[in-house]
Amino acid sequence: MKLPRFSFLSTRTLFTCGALLGIILLRWYLIRFGFIYDGFVVPPGGDPAVHIQLAQYLASGHSWLASGLQYPPGFHLLVVYVSNIFHISILQSTIILGQLTVLLPIIATFIIADKWFNRHTAIAAAALIGLASASPIVAYMDGNYPNLVGSGFLMIIGFTYFVESLREKPLLNSIYTSIAFILLAFVHHLSFILMLVIIIVYLVVIFIIQHGTGNHLPHFKRVGVFAFIGIIASGWLGYFLFGKTLFLPALTRIFNGSAPSFSDAYLSRPLGLGEYGATLGPLVLVLGLIGFLFVLNSRSPLLKVERKVFLLTWITVIAVLSQLSVVGLPSRLARELAVPCAIAGGILASVLISQAHERWRQWLTFGIIAIFITSQTVMLMTGPAHLPGGFSSMIWLGKKDLSKIVALNSLPDGVSIVMTPASPYYNVLVPNKKLVVSQTFDGSSYIFLGARLNPIPDPVAYPYFAHFDTIEKALKKAPNTKLLYSFPDGSEIREVL
C-alpha cells in the first residue's frame, strides 16, 4: 500500500523547517540557560518589574480604557490572559512570554526575506538575527518585551504586506497591513511611531523615483490612498492610546529645546560610529553594510524596485535617527537596524550561493556560511551575556532573597515600608504593602535595609540604583527602631516605634 505523498513535505521544505527550527531552539535554549541551571527566579533587567506591575494592575480588575495607562496595554493584557488560561502567576507568565519575544524577530525576518527575495536569503537572514545579532539579546536583558513584539514582529509583518500590496492584491494585502499596524499601536508606542516615519519617507521616495524613471507600480495610487487614510487613522489611534500622556508632552519639550520626557540618560546620546558593531553584532553590521552597498548598486531583476527601495529606506531612516539626539532615544533606535541589516546580509549570502553553479558547490558555500554565522552566536561564542555567566549580572533578585520576600509579606497589609533601592522586584513580589524608595522615613511603619546588589548596576544606565549609598546611610540613622529580621547578606527589616 502506497503512503499518500504530500507535496509540501519536499526535501527543500523539510530542510528549511529544520534549519529555522534549529535556529529558534538554539536561541531559546541559550535564553533559558540561566533559568534551567542557575535557578533564576526573575527575568534580567528592571523593565520586567514595571511590566509585571502593569499586568497585575490589569489583572486586579482595572480597565485599561479607564485607567489612563501611559503605556500601550497589548503585551500586558496578553500576560494576564496567559496567566488566567494556564493558572500561573503574573511573574511566571511574564518570564515565559518574555523569552518567547526574543524568538519573534527570527520568524518575522524569515517571513519577509522569503516573501521578498528567496529561501537562501530568508535562512541566512534568520540565522543572522537569531544567532549573530546582539540587538534582541540586549533588548531582552533590558526587558523591552513590547518592543520585541512590536518592531521585532508586527512592524516587520506589516512592512511585508504593505510593499506586496504595491504590485499585487492591493486590498487583501492592505487589510493584512492594517491588522499588523493596529496591533502594533496596542503593543509598543515607539515602534508605532518608527513605523509611521519609515512608511511616510518610503512613500515620498518611491513617488519621486516613479516620476523620475517613468516606471509606475500598478497599485501605487490605490495603496497610496489606503496608506494616507491608514496614517490618519493610525495617528488618531496612537493619540487615543498614548498621545495625551506621552507624545504631546514630548513634542512640547522638543520644540522648547529639551529632551523628550521619555528620554533616557544612557540612551539619549547619538551612537558613536564605533559602537554599532557592539549594538548590532559585528557580523550583522559588516554583512549588512556590504549587503546594503550591493543592493544599492545591483540591477538584478530579482530585486524588485519597491522591495529594494524599501530596504534601503528602512536602513537609512534608522541610521539617521540613531544620530539625532532630538528623537530622545537615538542609541535605543540604533538596535532597530539589526533586522534590515540581517536581511541585507542574507541577500549577500544568497548571491554568494548562487554564484556556485554546481549543486555540490552551492551546498559547500551554504555550509561555510552556516558555520561562519554559527561561530558568531551571541551568548555562546561572543557577548553580550556570554555564558556561563549569561544574564547573572542583570538578575536583581535571587533565591537568597526569597526569605526577605516572605518576611516582608508577613507584615500587616497596607503598611508603608521605606526601603533602599535594593531591587524593583520587591514592589512586584510584595503587592499588598506600600514600598517606597526614599531616605525620608517619616510616616513609614517599617524600614527595609536591602543589601546592595553585587555587581552594582551602572547608575547611569539604571538610575533606580543611583543613590543607594545616600539612602542607606540616612535610613540606618533612623531613631527609635526595633530590629525584626536580619539576613545573612546584611539586610534588615526594622519597625519604626
Query: What's the pLDDT tens digit per position in 254-301?
Result: 445 444 444 455 567 788 888 999 999 999 999 999 999 999 888 877
Please answer whether residues 317 and 333 qualify as being in contact, where contact means their C-beta atoms are separated by less than 8 angstroms: no
Q: Would you say how long the chain is, in residues?
A: 497
How far CA 108 is from CA of 336, 363, 377, 421, in Å, comes to 13, 25, 19, 38
Q: Give the distance, in angstroms, between the CA of residue 59 and the centroid of all CA atoms in the same chain.
A: 23
Please answer whether residues 404 and 450 qualify as being in contact, where contact means their C-beta atoms are separated by less than 8 angstroms: yes
Please answer whether residues 463 and 268 qualify as being in contact, where contact means their C-beta atoms are separated by less than 8 angstroms: no
Number of domains in the chain: 2
Phi-psi region of 161 (alpha: psi -120 to 50; beta: other; left: phi over 0): alpha
Please answer whether residues 344 and 312 qualify as being in contact, where contact means their C-beta atoms are separated by less than 8 angstroms: no
Say how many CA atoms lie within 13 Å of 389 toward its Cβ. 9
| Nearest alpha-carbon partner for 312 in 295, 297, 330, 290 | 295
The amino acid sitting at 362 is: Q
How far CA 46 is from CA of 212, 374, 383, 414, in Å, comes to 50, 30, 20, 24
Classify residue 463: in a domain, yes or no: yes
Q: Are residues 357 and 441 in the same domain?
A: no
Q: Are residues 363 and 419 in the same domain?
A: no
Q: Which residues of the chain have pLDDT under 50?
A: 1-4, 251, 253-255, 257-263
Classify residue 482: in a domain, yes or no: yes
Classify residue 219: in a domain, yes or no: yes
Q: Are residues 157 and 220 in the same domain?
A: yes
Q: Are residues 302 and 174 in the same domain?
A: yes
**Going edge to edge, which strands form the sheet with 492-496?**
434-437, 416-419, 446-449, 492-496, 481-486
Q: Are residues 419 and 366 in the same domain?
A: no
**What integer pLDDT is reported at residue 241 of this predicted model?**
65
Which structural domain range is residue 459 located in?
399-496
Q: Are residues 306 and 165 in the same domain?
A: yes
**What integer pLDDT is reported at residue 303 of this predicted model?**
82
Cβ contacts of 228 within 8 Å, gap of 6 or more: none
Please answer whether residues 295 and 303 qualify as being in contact, where contact means their C-beta atoms are separated by less than 8 angstroms: yes
Query: What is the distance between the alpha carbons of residues 196 and 243, in angstroms, rounded to a whole number?
Result: 14
Classify residue 316: in a domain, yes or no: yes
Query: What is the distance between the alpha carbons of residues 15 and 9, in angstroms, rounded to a whole number?
Result: 10
Please answer whether residues 395 and 387 qualify as being in contact, where contact means their C-beta atoms are separated by less than 8 angstroms: no
| Omega before residue 384 within 30° of 0, cis | yes
**What are the backbone dihedrals phi and psi of residue 180, each rounded to the nearest 5 degrees, phi first?**
-60, -40
Q: Are residues 404 and 368 in the same domain?
A: no
Classify residue 6: in a domain, yes or no: no
Query: What is the distance between the alpha carbons of residues 464 and 468, in angstroms, rounded to a whole number?
Result: 9
Classify residue 207: in a domain, yes or no: yes
Q: Are residues 323 and 412 in the same domain?
A: no
**What are the backbone dihedrals phi and psi of residue 175, each rounded to the nearest 5 degrees, phi first?**
-65, -45
Element (H, E) at 47: helix 47-59
**What integer pLDDT is reported at residue 231 of this predicted model?**
72
Q: What is the full DSSP assignment across 170-233?
A: HHHHHHHHHHHHHHHHHH-HHHHHHHHHHHHHHHHHHHHHHHHH----TTHHHHHHHHHHHHHH
Please answer whether residues 313 and 202 qualify as being in contact, where contact means their C-beta atoms are separated by less than 8 angstroms: yes
Q: What cell was used for 452?
A: 546592595
Query: What is the distance between the alpha carbons of residues 177 and 204, in angstroms, rounded to a whole number?
Result: 19
**What integer pLDDT is reported at residue 66 of this predicted model?**
59
Classify residue 72: in a domain, yes or no: no
Answer with the one of 359, 374, 389 that is the final residue of a domain. 374
Classify residue 164: in a domain, yes or no: yes
| 439 burial level (CB within 10 Å; 0-12, 13-18, 19+) | middle
Answer with the one of 321, 339, 374 that is the final residue of a domain. 374
Q: Are residues 354 and 488 in the same domain?
A: no
**What integer pLDDT is reported at residue 68 of this predicted model?**
59
Q: Does pTM top 0.95 for this prediction?
A: no
Helices 220-238 and 189-213: crossing angle, nearest 10°? 160
How far CA 445 is from CA of 414, 435, 438, 449, in Å, comes to 10, 11, 13, 13
Q: Are residues 107 and 184 in the same domain?
A: yes
Q: Report the C-alpha dihedral over residues 231, 344, 106, 226, rounded to 10 degrees.
A: 20
Q: Are residues 265 and 405 in the same domain?
A: no
Q: Report the C-alpha dihedral over residues 196, 201, 206, 209, rounded to 10 degrees.
A: 180
Q: Are residues 364 and 461 in the same domain?
A: no
